[in-house]
Amino acid sequence: MGLIPALFAGLATSLALGCSADTTAVADAAVDAGPSTDAVSPVPSDAGADALAPLTKLENLVYVEFVLNTHDWVFFDDSIATVNKVIDLHEKYKLPVEVYLTDPIIRTYVSKSPAFVERLKTSPVVSISHHVRPPAPYYSGYDWYGLDKLTDSALKTLLTSYEEHAIDLTTGLPNAAEAGGYEFMKKTIGYAPYVVTMSAGAGKVATTLAEIYKSKGALFTGRHSDKGTAWGETSNGLLMRPETAEVKAYEEKDDVDFETKILGPAMATVGTTRPAFVNLKWHEDNFYTSGTPWGNVYYADAKAKTMKPPPYDTSAYEPVEKKTATQKATQWKRYETALQYMVAHTDTYRVISIRDLKTLAGL
């Protein structure tokens, strides 16, 4: 037996995820917090229709992606309800959305709501991509394992195991007895998730991850950079998801004007650059909690992101501050306003999906 298999052979099976006794119920709070149709302008029957047409060339426009990052295995019923509501809105306005899944969250969805997983697979507006969160040691700033100290061979063996097996949320190691990772996500949704976010950054960890993801069918990667990312840039053999500017729309807490207060700063960065790429980003838990639900499990100080070493107590997620009804309504209003704005300003903006960029790149 090699070095790495020996490290996790015989580990206990992965922790059962979730905390609700009713595994099919949708959280009342998440549903009640949804946008009120009474306050919504009528939607033209062809709203967003162009956004679902194939993208064959870049024009003198600002291309916008709606990005929803999911990762909440603690309040999974709220997570499911929220993503369902987001899909409802995108189907209503006929605008695409890119949903990022982690290994624990896709396995939770499969276990708790197969019907919801089927919707993720079949909705015409949804495309699926992959990202990681703690306790994966290749999450940014979270290398409790010492990956850089491994030989190239041992590193590839370990990272491959992470992307083919379920991560144990207590030990932080891959559980060789249970399918998971990128490979499980690929088999579950029926295609290779388009984007992989290698938050480990540069160096041999990122290079090795890229090699593994490419071998499994990934096409794009992304990064957070103040310098932006131009269309056509590559990293470790993967196309970069373009981003002239990003909008962390969830960071605004008040009910403010979308155009001036949320989109405006990004457009100031974009300036006259055309074509340009602006990514509007949310996390599913932004709609019902203040702070990351599992933050206290994996960080000694969740705000400072002071890393804890394993083993982890997955029940130690409290305190988690839940949003009030007013706060939830404000977040939902902001989201729907963003969709309405894009439908009303097609002379400047076009909402696209990562599938569009795949087609544009001839992949």
User: 88 pLDDT band (50/70/90 cuts)?
Assistant: very high
CA–CA distances in Å: residue 44 to residues 74, 156, 285, 315, 342: 38, 51, 30, 47, 13
User: 25 pLDDT band (50/70/90 cuts)?
Assistant: very low
Q: CATH number, domain at 70?
A: 3.20.20.370
Q: What are phi and psi of 26, to 5 degrees?
A: -100, 130
- Given this model, what pLDDT does residue 201 score? 59
DSSP-assigned letters across all residues of 274-342? SSEEEEEEEEGGGGTEES-TTHHHHEEETTTTEEPPSS--TTTT---EEPPHHHHHHHHHHHHHHHHHH
Q: Is residue 173 part of a domain?
A: yes
Q: Which of 131, 2, 18, 169 is nearest to 80 (CA)?
A: 18
Q: Is residue 137 part of a domain?
A: yes
- Given this model, what pLDDT does residue 134 score? 96
- Given this model, what pLDDT does residue 43 score? 63
Q: Is residue 19 part of a domain?
A: no
Q: Look at residue 38 and tell me whether its pLDDT is greater than 50.
A: no
Q: Look at residue 284 and tell me whether its pLDDT is greater than 50.
A: yes
User: 361 pLDDT band (50/70/90 cuts)?
Assistant: very high
Burial 222-234 (b: 16+ CB within 10 A, else e): bbeeeebbebeee
pLDDT tens for 126-185 read: 999 999 999 999 999 999 999 999 999 999 999 999 999 999 999 999 999 999 999 999
Q: Is residue 21 part of a domain?
A: no
Domain range for 290 = 3-11+28-360
- The structure tokens listed for 350 are 């076009």
- Given this model, what pLDDT does residue 218 score? 98
pLDDT tens for 236-255 read: 999 999 999 999 998 887 88
First and final CA of the chain: distance in angstroms? 39
Q: What is the pLDDT averaged over residues 298-308?
A: 87
- Given this model, what pLDDT does residue 23 score? 38
Average pLDDT, the chain: 87
- Given this model, what pLDDT does residue 347 score? 96
Q: Is residue 18 part of a domain?
A: no
Q: What is the pLDDT averaged over residues 114-119?
A: 98
Q: Is residue 22 part of a domain?
A: no
Number of domains in the chain: 1
- Given this model, what pLDDT does residue 44 score? 59
Q: Is residue 150 part of a domain?
A: yes
Higher pLDDT, 80 or 250: 80
Q: What are phi and psi of 224, to 5 degrees?
A: -95, 120
Q: Look at residue 302 and tell me whether its pLDDT is greater than 80.
A: no
User: 49 pLDDT band (50/70/90 cuts)?
Assistant: low
Q: Is residue 23 part of a domain?
A: no
- Among the ranges given (6-10, 258-262, 346-350), the one the predictor scored with the smallest mean pLDDT: 6-10
Q: Is the dihedral of CA 327, 342, 360, 55 positive or negative?
A: positive
- Given this model, what pLDDT does residue 163 score? 98
pLDDT tens for 321-359 read: 999 999 999 999 999 999 999 999 999 999 999 999 999
pLDDT tens for 191-207 read: 999 999 876 556 899 99
Q: Look at residue 13 and tell me whether its pLDDT is greater than 60.
A: no
